Amino acid sequence: MFSLNKCASPGCPAFVYKDTGYCYHHNPDKDAILASLKKQLEDGSGVRDVSIVNAEVIGVKAAKGCTIMASNFSFTVFEDCVFESAAIIESFFDYCIFRRCTFRSDDIRYSVFAGSTFIECRINDSTVIHNSFMGIDAYDSDFSANDFYFSNFSLSKLVDTSMEDCNLKRTNFRASLTKNVSFRYSNPEEAFFRKEEGYTI
């Protein structure tokens, strides 16, 4: 698990990066930290127990089989990134922006994407169970062919985003807003919707 110690910079509420005493932003080695993150993703050595908040991760193609474990990337922007056959476990991506990112054949569980925005993203052929997508905004995205068992999309806004051929058993869509969302070949009847919030198939 990433350290819950606060940054030594006065007034900074962010968690420290490893045991450096400072958060990513107040770290004198900020550029090296980001470079090391990209390298660990791209060479497949993986990322574990780090907190890097409010960063920009652009154009990273993670090596197949790469693991992200017990880490924190809140408020980070991910653009044109690919995570294929990756495992993302117990990690925080709350209030992130994902633009043109691809998650394919991944194992994503016990992770938090709450409050994030997904624009032109793809999550396909993946196990995406027991995650929080509370309050996300998704536009022009494709979330098809996934197992979303017990994931939570309540309070989310899903627009022009398909969720076809997904397992939606115990998936929570309460108080969500869906527009042009196709649930074809999925099982929304086993998900949680409020009665008055109809879905379309």
The identity of residue 36, as a single letter, is: S
For Zn ion, which is the closer residue by CB, 27 or 132? Answer: 27
Which of residues 83 and 92 has its CB atom nearest to Zn ion in the complex? 92
23 is a site residue for Zn ion (CB under 5 A): yes
Judged by beta carbon, residue 5 or residue 187, the one nearer Zn ion is: 5
As a whole number of angstroms, the distance between CA 196 and CA 101 comes to 33
Using the rule CB under 5 A, is 105 a contact of Zn ion? no
- Choices 20-28, 64-72, 74-82, 153-161 (CB under 5 A): range interacting with Zn ion: 20-28
Which of residues 18, 20, 26, 105 is near Zn ion by CB under 5 A? 26
Q: Is 54 in the site for Zn ion (CB under 5 A)?
A: no
14 binds Zn ion (CB under 5 A): yes
Work out how close the CB of 36 gets to Zn ion at its nearest, in angstroms, rounded to a whole number: 18
- Residue count at the site for Zn ion (CB under 5 A)? 6
Tokens standing for 14?
Answer: 């962010």
* 21 vs 46, beta carbon nearer Zn ion: 21
Residues that bind Zn ion (CB under 5 A): 7, 9, 12, 14, 23, 26
